[in-house]
Structure 1
């Protein structure tokens, strides 16, 4: 499995990476712009991400905007809805509107509330059929 971890918080990125590196080749982006560029490169290299863990609230280009752009890139590159990257939004409980918008406007697959723990993340990945 190939995964992209997108979070502006060092601690959150490292926690998710420590969990995922057992089952995935992981790339890391610290903001939405880096995420979009990494995603674009993965499509050009014909090695798309199976999983994206995406923080919604980041400075600059936030997770909402990045997710919309990622889904647009998939459409432009002929990726079928069944083959789209699974996107787990990582968020705080206070982010209810952003989480709602990520699902209904951005095409997120699921979400987990921070802090992320191994059991919940691995359970979510299994439920998405990635491992």
Structure 2
């Protein structure tokens, strides 16, 4: 499994990296633009991501805009909907999350702090591992 973690908070990013490294390669992007760049670079080398953990509040562009760019890139590449990268949106602010904004573009939402057991159960439910 190859995972992209888009997280501007270094401690949260390292936590997610450590949590997911037991399942495969983890790439950490520190802002929305870096996340989109990592995604496009992976696609161009035919090393697609299986999962993206996308923080919502990030500098440069937020998680919503980064995800929209990623989904747009998948559409341009002709990626079938059932072959798209799975996405989990993550935020520290549960009440600040707008579930209607991009609900068709991501699979799940989790609030920080990440519960390890719930997260593990979630990625198994998504059939990523």
TM-score (norm 1): 0.93
**Aligned residue number for residue 60 of structure 2:** 60
- Say if 1:31 and 1:60, in contact at 8 Å, map to a contact too: yes
Residue 95 of structure 2 aligns with which residue? 94
Looking at structure 1, the residues matched to 13 and 95 of structure 2 have their Cα atoms a distance apart, in angstroms, of 20
CA distance in 1, matches of 2:96, 2:121: 22
Instruction: State yes or no: 1:50 paired with 2:50.
Output: yes
**2:14 — aligned with what?**
14
SS at match of 1:23: coil
Deviation at 1:25, TM superposition (A): 0.6
Q: Deviations over 1:10-29 (max 9, x none)?
A: 11111111110001210010
How far residue 103 of structure 1 moved from its aligned partner, in angstroms, is: 1.2
Moved over 4 A (4+): none
CA RMSD across the alignment: 1.0
Unaligned stretches of 5+ residues in structure 1: none
How many residue pairs align between the two structures? 128
- Equivalence for 1:32: 32
Bigger drift between 67-76 and 117-126 goes to: 117-126
Aligned partner of residue 100 in structure 1, secondary structure? coil
CA distance in 2, matches of 1:79, 1:121: 26
Task: State the alpha-carbon separation in 1 of the partners of residues 60 and 68 from structure 2.
Answer: 15
Following superposition, the deviation at residue 117 of structure 1 comes to 2.3
Q: In the TM superposition, what is the alpha-carbon distance from 1:102 to its structure 2 partner?
A: 2.7
| Cross-structure match for 2:127 | 129
Kept in 2: contact 1:15–1:116 (CA 8 A): no
Deviations 1:45-91 (A, max 9, x none): 11110000000111211101000000000011111100000000011
